[in-house]
Amino acid sequence: MEDGFKWRLSDEQLSVATHVDGPLLVVAGPGSGKTRVLTERIRNLLTNVPGHFRVLALTFTNKAAAEMKERLADLGDVRERAFIGTLHGFCLEVLSERGKFVGLEGAPNIFEQAKDRQEVLEKAITEDPFLSEKLADITDSKERKRRVGKWLSAISYVKSHPVTCAVIEDEEVQRVLDAYNAGMQACNAFDFDDLLLLTYKLFIDNPKVGDIYRRLYKFICLDEAQDMNEAQYAVIAALCSGSHRNVMMVGDPRQSIYGFNTSSPEYMERFGQDFRAKRVQLMANYRSSRAVVNFAQTLDPNYMVDQQLPIPGCVRVLRGADEKNEAVQIADELERLFLEGHPDVEGGIEPGKCAILGRTRFALLNIEAELKKRGITFYKRLSANHENESEVVDDFLIALRVMANPRDLLHLSALAKRWKVGTPDTSDDFLTTIRLMASEADESRVGAVVNSIAAVAKKLSRLDLMPALTVLEEHADALDEADRLAIYEDVAVLRQEWDQFLRSATGTRSLPAFLSGKALGAVQKTSREGVALLTVHSSKGLEFDVVFMAGMAEGMFPDYRATGAKERAEENRNAFVAATRAKRLLYLTYPMSRVMPWGDIRRQAPSRFLTGAPD
């Protein structure tokens, strides 16, 4: 390995990057360079280890995968020997290639939206006398809705625990699961949990298929291991069944914040025990200033740092009279920083170097309004996918779903409802069906949707969405400014997603493949301009020179629902993750009073997490 490579890494980092054979568990704190170490290990395996093999590098987010690919771009064609993506993305590829062994044909059609899964379950309930009766016994409509929600949660829990829930003793849960699965099967659709569950079953029930992937991927690297759940660990364990032991997991139990998705750092520790992995700790922090590190240590006194930057930085508390005043103070400070800069931030401070984090999106509502009022550029990432502002683009995407999956009567019915037409006859091809629906509709946008779908249909064998997007823009040109801008913005996002799909697509350029990638967030633009307005969970893996943690009041952060010891511990980790996104400056803000949803004004106590903050 070249000398320059060695000089760039610490001894601990180098031991990880040059590790070749055998299981390895790396406990890496925030800012310890784990992404660099992971990337350099992949580089070392691809360039210095002889043999015909591929590397499987699994990241937590598509953004992390894109960053890793960019860092390895200088390898040229050699980089193609590594699959770099999320575990769900890998499972999608496996099922698209060999899903026939578990009853799939082609790429799975994914129902990623909760409302779609709920509709599938509600329809399934009406067709099951046992479940219908259970629901009919509940007279209160809100309670019935809660019961359906509880059943949906039970379905997800069972699917995400394929080992502990291999046998279901609760008859009601089993009936709900069977009814839901039958409903999904009728639509030829799958949910996110199915991607993991079916891949696990594929490897377990078909050892020869598992052998193919074990021979193909000689080395496996998994990032953010503290956020694995049972299903994710089960997939990795099934893939490594037998003698495959060249597995590396990197994570930090202090940053485990996805307990609501049944993830737990216990699976990271279990890997260490099950695989008897060599353990390496990366305890430096090359990201954050001394002030930020000191504050992080007040959140977790066990957080030890053996090396850190010689940059002082600062941590400040801003107290607003109420939510609006809190927003004003944040905007004031941002504008001051843009104008004056800060000695600890090189090259001045611009919007792209700043982020405002809220425990939930509600903590950011007044801040968003204030940024808009002042014309401060910002972007939001409060949910996984772009939410369309225009009905015509929504219609177009729903129609694409049905075009890709003719058995998807759920979305066909949704389109009919949006157009206020009767349930269509599905005996014809989809283009004929949608034209018949359009002939009955009064909505002005319908013609544009039909014409855009017809443009896609012309080139299905070599899919091209660009002509369809042009049709939508031409429709927008005849509308007033507000409607036109909404369509143009939604189409611009679709263009970016289509371009990303073309650049990253490795298999067939098909409509199901594009829609699956869109559902998994794999075709999203990974970088945006302006101040980042993020929930704590969507900030995971990111870093900014300036971070504002907003809404730092009791009941807001920590969240009022965190009543048990387990939930309180996770809230503490949430605060730790949020604080360590800051590279130089950290602001902790809260409103001293707040208008409650029912209209009362209530005094707010500062968050317990501010105890260690400077006055």
What integer is the mean pLDDT of 125-144? 90
Residue 377 annotated as lining a ligand binding site: no
Q: Where are the domains of the chain?
A: 11-96+198-285, 113-190, 290-381+528-603, 391-520
Q: Render pLDDT for 21-30 as a digit per residue (tens, 0 to 9).
A: 999 999 999 9
Confidence check: pLDDT of 7 > 50: no
Residue 296: pLDDT over 60: yes
Instruction: Round to whole Å and give the CA distance between 599 and 75.
Output: 59
- Predicted confidence at residue 407, as pLDDT, reads 93
What is the pLDDT confidence band of residue 259, given thresholds at 50, 70 and 90? confident
Is 33 a known ligand-binding residue?
yes
Kindly indicate the confidence band of residue 4, based on its pLDDT and cuts at 50, 70 and 90: very low
Question: Does 512 show up as a binding residue in the annotation?
Answer: no
The set of residues, in sequence order, having a beta carbon less than 8 Å from that of 466 and lying 6+ positions away, is 495, 498
Best CA proximity match to 499, nearest among 525, 461, 473, 474? 525
- b/e sequence 507-525, b meaning 16+ C-beta within 10 Å: eeebbbbbbbbbbbbbbbe
Average pLDDT along the chain: 92
**Each residue of 321-344: pLDDT tens digit?**
999 999 999 999 999 999 999 999
264 vs 324: CA distance, rounded Å: 37
Confidence of residue 385 (pLDDT cuts 50, 70, 90): low
Rg for the chain (alpha carbons), in Å?
26
**What is the pLDDT confidence band of residue 354, given thresholds at 50, 70 and 90?**
very high
The pLDDT of residue 48 is 95
Q: How far apart (Å, rounded) are the C-alpha atoms in residues 447 and 471?
A: 10
pLDDT for 461 equals 78
The mean pLDDT of 129-134, rounded to a whole number, is 92
Class of domain 11-96+198-285: alpha beta
% the chain with pLDDT above 90: 77
Distances (CA, A) of 142 to 118, 119, 137, 492, 597: 15, 16, 13, 39, 19
The pairing of beta strand 54-59 with beta strand 82-86: parallel
Judged against a pLDDT cut of 60, whether residue 60 lies above it is answered with yes
Neighbour-count burial for 80-90, b at 16+ CB within 10 Å, e otherwise: eebbbbbbbbb
Question: Does 11-96+198-285 match 290-381+528-603 in CATH topology?
Answer: yes
- Least confident span in 5-19, 44-58, 389-403: 5-19
pLDDT at 597 over 80: no
Annotated binding residue 251: no
Pick the closest to residue 591 from 558, 553, 559 (CA basis): 553
Does residue 71 surpass a pLDDT of 90? Answer: yes
Cα–Cα distance measured from residue 506 to residue 268, given in angstroms and rounded to the nearest whole number: 31
CA distance 404 to 399: 9
String of DSSP letters for 515-566: HHHHHTTTTS-S---SEEEEETGGGTT--EEEEEEE--BTBTTTBTT--SHH
With a cut of 90, say whether residue 435 has pLDDT above it: yes
> Is 32 marked as binding a ligand?
yes
Mean pLDDT (whole number) for 263-291 = 95
Task: Output the pLDDT for position 380.
Answer: 84
User: Which DSSP symbol is given to 507?
Assistant: S
Please check whether residue 230 is in contact with residue 191, taking contact to mean a CB–CB distance below 8 angstroms: no
Q: Is 31 among the annotated ligand-binding positions?
A: yes
506 pLDDT tier (thresholds 50, 70, 90): low
Looking at per-residue confidence, does 318 or 444 come out higher? 318
Per-residue pLDDT tens over the stretch 143-189: 999 999 999 999 999 999 999 999 999 999 999 999 999 999 999 99
Across 62-70, average pLDDT: 89
Tokens of 200: 């696990």
- Return the CATH number of the domain spanning residue range 391-520: 1.10.486
Residue 507 has pLDDT above 80, yes or no: no
CATH number of 290-381+528-603, picked from 3.40.50.620, 3.30.1330.60, 3.40.50.300, 1.10.10.10: 3.40.50.300
Residue 468 confidence (pLDDT): 96
Residue 210 marked ligand-binding: no
CB 59 within 8 A of CB 34: no
| pLDDT of the residue at 527 | 62
Long-range contact list for 303-311, CB < 8 A, 24+ apart?
Answer: 303/29, 303/254, 303/576, 305/29, 307/10, 307/283, 308/284, 309/285, 311/344, 311/584
DSSP 67-106: HHHHHTGGGGGGGGGEEEEEHHHHHHHHHHHHGGGGT--S
CA distance 49 to 75: 14
CA angle 264, 269, 275 (to 5 degrees): 130
> What pLDDT is recorded for position 477?
94
Q: Is 29 annotated as a binding residue?
A: yes
Residue keyed to tokens 């490795």: 506
Run of H or E residues at 460: none
| Helical spans, DSSP H, in 206-289 | 207-216, 230-239, 266-274
